[in-house]
Amino acid sequence: MTTIDLAGRIEHAVLSPQATEKDLQDAVRVAVRWGVRALVVKPCHLAAAARMLASSDVKLVTVIGFPHGGQTTETKVFETREAVARGAQEIDLVLNIGALRQRDLAAVFYEIRAVVEAAAGRPVKVILENAYLDDWPKRLAGRLAARAGASYVKTGTGFAPTGATVADVALMRRSVGGRLGVKAAGGIRSYADAVALVEAGADLIGTSHTEAILTEAARRAA
Amino acid sequence: MTTIDLAGRIEHAVLSPQATEKDLQDAVRVAVRWGVRALVVKPCHLAAAARMLASSDVKLVTVIGFPHGGQTTETKVFETREAVARGAQEIDLVLNIGALRQRDLAAVFYEIRAVVEAAAGRPVKVILENAYLDDWPKRLAGRLAARAGASYVKTGTGFAPTGATVADVALMRRSVGGRLGVKAAGGIRSYADAVALVEAGADLIGTSHTEAILTEAARRAA
């Protein structure tokens, strides 16, 4: 895969709980230098990130209900509206993991739909957090996300005990078919990791190891 | 320490991202059977927990901005107001860890104060998440929390790489003196852990290992 192709799939994440505005500045520089698809920031960094990215083509993405998804629907909707007002162009939403596991499908569906509406046309990615799920809720979440108007399903937050796997990406791709995109995220550290996940069906790669991944892509191209 | 003394200090937590309403029911039974001080639940479980605890003396506590603290102040305030409306009697707030690390003290102070106001008289515990902090921000956060009207400082969420330590509890106790309470939380699994933290200055113990801890306390008393 060429460096440009891969960069066009990468969403560079600066989501650590301890990340400061200095870390945000460093991440903006990486995102702009490599021309990645998007930068993913904490909600408290949205306003600053929107200013820093104003003259670039890098999309600004934030996370809602992050990383546990245990907020109420009302809080997630409020957080989404606020994110849109502060410049978020896409929304990565952690679904209610407990509700999905207890098969409270109405709650999961309604919440995704309410956030899609609050996002007012901006694409919503639904984070499943596969680390905590059997295969059946992974499949089910894909169908619920599609019906609720989401644009992508996403494997995880990067803060669970396990990260993105080739098996999960393939399962999610089969589950959503061509209706939704698939974003792999969590523990993606190398070029080989990223390529394997793209080959398994991932449209997008969420990672904070962008420099290492794209440096290796450029080295291989040279 | 007697079983009753220790139970009166324990806040039993059911905060795992994957926790279902069945897990909540189990936790309510543990909390009521052992007569602990409080039950700490995800915001999405507040309404159900309030019904389940209605005829008990166990206080109902929830977590705001949990567990990374990277939400905006506005979202944390909204989440707090909603939590109060759903029956929360105390609020455990994750402060903005990045803002504290970059010494943006006005932002940290204003956010705690805004949540204290939204809590409308209910005690607020400020979670520092010590795993990500040097000693100076731990001390500083105690002073900011006291000045902003919080009632306790709390060592961590239980979802960081490290948990509560005797050294941190002692440092926080020295920092806040008698002005605030200190709650130890994160990785507290045994009676010995709990007693060591109380002896170091913790007023409250946050744990999901309540049964193991209090069973051992009762065994020693017998």
CA distance A167 to chain B (A): 21
- The predicted-structure confidence for A87-114, as pLDDT tens digits, reads as follows 999 999 999 999 999 999 999 999 999 9
CA atoms of B51 and B66, how far apart (whole Å): 23
- The predicted-structure confidence for B6-20, as pLDDT tens digits, reads as follows 999 999 999 999 999
Q: Which residue of B has its CA nearest to A133?
A: B18
CA distance A218 to chain B (A): 33
Q: How confident is the model at residue A1 (pLDDT cuts 50, 70, 90)?
A: confident
Mean pLDDT confidence for B164-191:
97
Coil/strand/helix, residue A218: helix
> What domains appear along chain B, each with residue ranges and CATH number?
3-221 (3.20.20.70)
Interface contact flag, B43 A75, Cβ < 8 Å: yes
ipTM confidence score? 0.98
- The predicted-structure confidence for A69-89, as pLDDT tens digits, reads as follows 999 999 999 999 999 999 999
Interface contact flag, A132 B79, Cβ < 8 Å: no
Interface contact flag, B20 A78, Cβ < 8 Å: no
Q: Are strands A38-41 and B152-154 parallel, antiparallel or unpaired?
A: unpaired
CA distance A39 to chain B (A): 16
DSSP states of A25-37 = HHHHHHHHHHT-S
- Take residue A206 and report the two structure tokens written for it: 């969420």
pLDDT at B52 over 90: yes
Q: What mean pLDDT, rounded, does chain B reach?
A: 98
Interface contact flag, A20 B98, Cβ < 8 Å: yes
pLDDT at B66 over 90: yes
Residue A22: its chain B contacts at CB < 8 A?
102
Coil/strand/helix, residue A14: strand
Mean pLDDT confidence for B43-65:
98
Interface contact flag, B18 A45, Cβ < 8 Å: no
pLDDT at B1 over 90: no
Active site residues of A: 92, 154, 183
The whole-number pLDDT of residue B140 equals 97
> Per CB distance under 8 Å, which residues of A are interface residues toward B?
15, 17-23, 42-46, 66-75, 78-79, 82, 86, 96-99, 101-102, 104, 129, 132-133, 159-160
CA atoms of A138 and A212, how far apart (whole Å): 30
Q: What mean pLDDT, rounded, does chain A reach?
A: 98
Q: Provide the b/e sequence for B105-135 (b: ≥16 CB within 10 Å).
A: eebbbbbbbbbbebbeebbbbbbbbbbbbee
- The predicted-structure confidence for A28-46, as pLDDT tens digits, reads as follows 999 999 999 999 999 999 9
Active site residues of B: 92, 154, 183
From the list B73, B75, B159, the residue facing A78 with the nearest CB is B75
Residue A68: φ, ψ to 5°: -95, -20
The whole-number pLDDT of residue B21 equals 98
Give the residue from B97, B90, B177, B179 showing the smallest Cα distance to B141: B97
